[in-house]
Amino acid sequence: MHHALRPGPDSQQRAVQDVVVAERAIAAVDDGVAIAGRQVSRRVRGPTASDLSAMHAVVVDDHALLITDWDALANRKLVERGRADAARGTQGYRTIVTSTLVLVALFREFWAVVSHKTPVTVADLGRVERSAQRMLQRLNEREQGASRLPAADCTRAP
């Protein structure tokens, strides 16, 4: 036996309540799907976009500072320009980190000769080296599938 809905205020009110409940349920499902989608997206994307881009910007700036100063010292015949050839690569995260660390090593090797002829300080070399080492560590962790580190942990200190 079928019960027909009788038109009236009670049935209309129930219909409106059913629609409201259904809309809330759909909204809750949509929210859940959106949250799950963002979580999957974060896992797939990994640390490359946010963590490494901040570190990369710092290391690129540091590399530019050191290579420019090295070339200025070479123009004054205080160092050999060719010694920095291995440090001229800048394409790719690992390449820029390696190039920057090579420059730090060169400056330290020639520090007795260049220390009073460059605006770069020992403190600058230490800061640049720490920054590059943190980025290298993060690259290694990323390759091993380690969890994300906040970008703030790896950016330049004031």
Q: Is 119 helix (H, G, I), strand (E, B) or coil?
A: coil
Alpha helices in 46-116 (DSSP H): 53-75, 93-109, 111-114
66 & 35 share domain: no
Please tell me whether residues 53 and 86 are part of one structural domain: yes
Q: Is residue 97 part of a domain?
A: yes
Across the range 130-154, mean pLDDT stands at 76
Q: Which positions ≥6 away from 99 have C-beta within 8 Å?
A: 63, 67, 86, 87, 88, 89, 90
Dig out the tokens for 113 from the structure: 């000769």
Query: What is the spatial distance between Cα 143 and Cα 29, in angstroms, rounded to a whole number?
Result: 35
Query: Please, which residues have CB within 8 angstroms of residue 81's CB and are 6 or more apart in sequence?
Result: 70, 71, 74
Query: Residue 111 belongs to what domain range?
Result: 47-154
What does DSSP assign to residue 40? Answer: H
| Res 26: pLDDT | 74
Mean pLDDT of all residues in 102-127: 96
12 with 55, same domain: the answer is no
Same domain, 34 and 101: no
**pLDDT greater at residue 44 or residue 108:** 108
pLDDT at 85: 94
Give pLDDT, residue 142.
85
Is residue 125's pLDDT more than 60?
A: yes
How crowded is residue 151: how many other Cβ atoms within 10 Å of its Cβ? 16
Residues 90 and 34 in one domain: no
pLDDT digit string (tens) for 20-50?
676 776 766 666 665 655 554 444 444 445 6
Can you spell out the DSSP letters for 125-136?
HHHHHHHHHHHH
Flag whether 1 is in a domain: no
**Residue 104: which pLDDT band, with cuts at 50, 70 and 90?**
very high
With 80 as the cut, is the pLDDT of residue 67 above it? yes
- Asked whether residue 30 is assigned to any structural domain, the reply reads yes
Do 104 and 92 belong to one domain? yes
Indicate whether 19 belongs to any domain. yes
The answer to whether residue 57 is domain-embedded is: yes
Q: How confident is the model at residue 148 (pLDDT cuts 50, 70, 90)?
A: low
pTM for the model: 0.62
Kindly state whether residues 113 and 102 are assigned to the same domain: yes
What pLDDT, on a 0 to 100 scale, did the predictor assign at position 24? 73
Domain count, the chain: 2
Tokens 């160092």 belong to residue: 79
110 & 135 share domain: yes
Domain assignment present for residue 88? The answer is yes
**What pLDDT sits at residue 9?**
63
Report whether 157 contacts 127 (CB < 8 A): yes
Mean pLDDT of 87-94: 92
Within-domain flag for 124: yes
Q: Are residues 57 and 12 in the same domain?
A: no
Residue 3: inside a domain: no
Q: Give the chain's mean pLDDT.
A: 80
Span 138-144, average pLDDT: 87
